[in-house]
Chain A
Amino acid sequence: MLSKRVVACLDVRDGHLAKSVKFVNTQNIGDPVEKAREYYLDGLDELVFYDITASSDKRNIMLDVVEAVAAQVFIPLSVGGGIRSVADATDLRLAGAEKINVNSAAVARPDLINECSAAVGDQNIVLSMDVRRVAPSAAQPSGFEIVINGGRTPTGRDALEWALEGEKRGAGELVVNSIDADGTRDGYDIALTALIAAAVRIPVIASGGAGLPEHLHEVLTDGKADAALVASMVHYGDYRVSGLKQYLHEQGLKIRMSW
């Protein structure tokens, strides 16, 4: 049986580590390579780098970060943020990224998912979606809407419908990020995660809101997620990756416990 995964997300801006609260007020919290190695040695199952660099002339810094991390971290490495073309995806793969996350650019041009999955294999393409709660309507029957550009721009697109379309277009995995929960440490959006995980046949990584070990357990059971993404709760030293895994293991979940 596959183990449930604990995934850590590192937001990187201009080559430095940042963590956002509700996608604003980013604070610099250290060197991404050092942090990645630390989590790796502490039993992390998968690492996600999200490039939140604002200016396009600094984009290549991310390739250097990925290359440096890939030389020291021997678990799957997933990279997202600003990927607009197959060339972007291929560059990151050559730098050492296993999986490529597409987000806003795929909403603007959904064919990007098909193109990237054809180029690098569908198991390596992750559709990352930022979602907010809205009143259910004809346009958003699920009551969840896709937002883009780091949560700033609503799209009018229904989140469940977009998840299903992403799967059909060849995404191999979904990251479902609640921007309502992101940075709050109040827990994942369980209803959102469960809604999408039950509807698709590809793995779902729950994201946004983790603050306590119980939150991970909840989203991996009630939320039906295959993996739980953590950020600030480990970045600021409140919890260790190994401690979270130990807790989940003690709760009876299948977790990788030797590394």
Chain B
Amino acid sequence: MVPAQPCISSEFLSDPLVFAAFQIGRAFTVTLILDYDAGNLGSVKRACSEVGLQAEFAAHPDALEQAERIIFPGVGAAGSAMRSLRERGLDTALKNAIAKGTPLLGICLGMQVSLDHSEENDTPTLGLLGGRVQRFKLNRPELKIPHMGWNEVKVQQSHPVLAGIEPGDEFYFVHGYYPMPTAPEHVLTLTEYEGDFVSAVGKNNYIGTQFHPEKSGQVGLRLFENFARWDGVWQSSALPEGGSNAQ
């Protein structure tokens, strides 16, 4: 089995000329990792830098205005995360960024608070995408909560950020709650844990994953590479004939 290599490896970028050319190419690209006291963000930044995406932390709403693309990570609980976002004015800034088409990647709790409501702490959330977040209710006693470890991500609709994910590819999960988007066309991937749950969601320039691509090996890094190139344009293939194409 040949492990997949990222297209832009750190070894490649260690060549000063290559690095300089790469920097010029992305001189005006600003990727921001939203910093709102929601856990350890270092691993997301390291994964970005491994694929040549220079990302910076941002805690102020004004910074989001300028961003070329935004990563919205998070661990912890929905209630405190939403408080933290509101106190900083980041909730409005995120909605504005979505409205103007900025590509936005939510990870784990960062994805969960993008729906309308989370059962965790009974929290109203951002509503970037219609739907609710629920806690696992499992019958088989040997299945544990949180759902922690490697599990398969089954792609339901093609999406530029999920390009290259093959059947059987697994990602790393740590979570007790999962998203339930209202519209089936927002479901990007499914994962099995006593039945299928939704493990990635998407709507226009927004994509969110329940799994942690930054902890998911080379296949996870590919997702960051894809996101680094994504222009934020995506339309669900699940839309009915003649369906709306609102971008």
Q: How large is the interface on B (under 10, 10 to 19, 20 to 34, 35 or more residues)?
A: 35 or more
Q: Contact partner of A2 among B76, B193, B219, CB < 8 A?
A: B193
B149 touches A75 (CB 8 A): no
Interface residues of A in 216-259 (CB under 8 A from B): 226-227, 242, 256-259
Q: In the assembly, what is the distance between CA of A258 and CA of B216, in Å?
A: 11
State whether the Cβ of B135 lies closer than 8 Å to any Cβ in chain A. no
| Cβ contacts under 8 Å, A226 to chain B | 149
| Cβ contacts under 8 Å, A242 to chain B | 1
B150 touches A40 (CB 8 A): no
| Cβ contacts under 8 Å, A72 to chain B | 10, 50
State whether the Cβ of A74 lies closer than 8 Å to any Cβ in chain B. yes
A203 touches B148 (CB 8 A): yes
B150 touches A258 (CB 8 A): no
State whether the Cβ of A94 lies closer than 8 Å to any Cβ in chain B. yes
Number of chain A residues close to chain B: CB under 8 A: 33
Q: Contact partner of B172 among A1, A40, A76, A258, CB < 8 A?
A: A76
| Cβ contacts under 8 Å, A43 to chain B | 1, 3
Would A1 and B192 be within 8 Å (CB), given that A96-B42, A121-B75, A203-B148 are in contact? yes
A94 touches B166 (CB 8 A): no
Interface residues of A in 14-51 (CB under 8 A from B): 40-43, 45
B43 touches A259 (CB 8 A): no
| Cβ contacts under 8 Å, B75 to chain A | 121
Q: In the assembly, what is the distance between CA of A231 and CA of B3, in Å?
A: 22
A-B complex: 5 closest residue pairs judged by Cβ atoms? A2-B149, A256-B170, A3-B150, A256-B150, A259-B217
Interfacial residues, chain B to chain A (CB-CB below 8 A): 1, 3-4, 10, 39-40, 42-43, 46-47, 49-50, 75-76, 141, 144, 146-151, 166, 168-170, 172, 174, 192-193, 214-221
